[in-house]
Amino acid sequence: MALDPTDPVSVLGISSSPRKNSNSELLLQQVLEGAEQAGARVEWVSLREVTLRPCQACRSCEKTGECVQRDDFEGLRNLMIAADRVVVATPVYWMTVSAQLKLFMDRCQSLWARKHRLKRPLPPAANPPRLGVAIAVGGSKVGEMFTGIRLTMRYFFDVLSVARVHELFYYPYDRAGSIREHPSALQEALALGQEIGRRTL
């Protein structure tokens, strides 16, 4: 079926910071605001407000493509599958993503199983290509802190059949709200949101 060029792009934002109005969350909000300005349909969730159990490594998903646990994961997974753009924001803890995001990613093993074990990868988005945005903010002065996050995010987005990943990585901003002191970070996030919120790239 042909796509309706008037259909808005759907953008899902996922905040994984345990701290409300954290630096990563402020950047996420800017991206979503920009996307909305561009005409996108925007939705966002905070992982600190949902119930997710850790992966039990039972490997049941390798047979069915579904996680046997019943909590908020299924709803979040469905939102991701339906989204044309997925924006994931995390603080940097111990040179990697937050515990909340790592737990969620581990539960996405069922999507990995669909793609690699069952050969049922996610279909392309309704408004192709499906794009991903990785946002990370760290408090230390070690620039290499993003090396592990970059690899983890790209592997995660690959499972979602994301065609291209944009990155917004900033440091050293630790105190809540201190990202506002960066001369251009908020504007860069807004501009990226405006870009990904358009139907045609």
* Domain 10-195 sits in CATH 3.40.50.360: yes
**pLDDT exceeds cutoff 50 at 118:** yes
Q: Report, as an integer, the average pLDDT of 86-102.
A: 96
C-alpha to C-alpha distances, 6 to 33, 155, 200, nearest whole angstrom = 20, 32, 11
Can you tell me the distance from the alpha carbon of 46 to that of 90, in angstroms, rounded to the nearest whole number? Answer: 11
- Residue partners of 186: CB distance under 8 A and separation at least 6: 26, 27, 30, 179, 180
Q: What is the pLDDT of residues 45-85, one digit of tens each?
A: 999 999 999 999 999 999 999 999 999 999 999 999 999 99
Q: What is the pLDDT of residue 129?
A: 80
Q: What is the pLDDT of residue 132?
A: 96
**pLDDT exceeds cutoff 50 at 105:** yes
In degrees and rounded to multiples of 5, residue 106 shows phi and psi of -60, -40
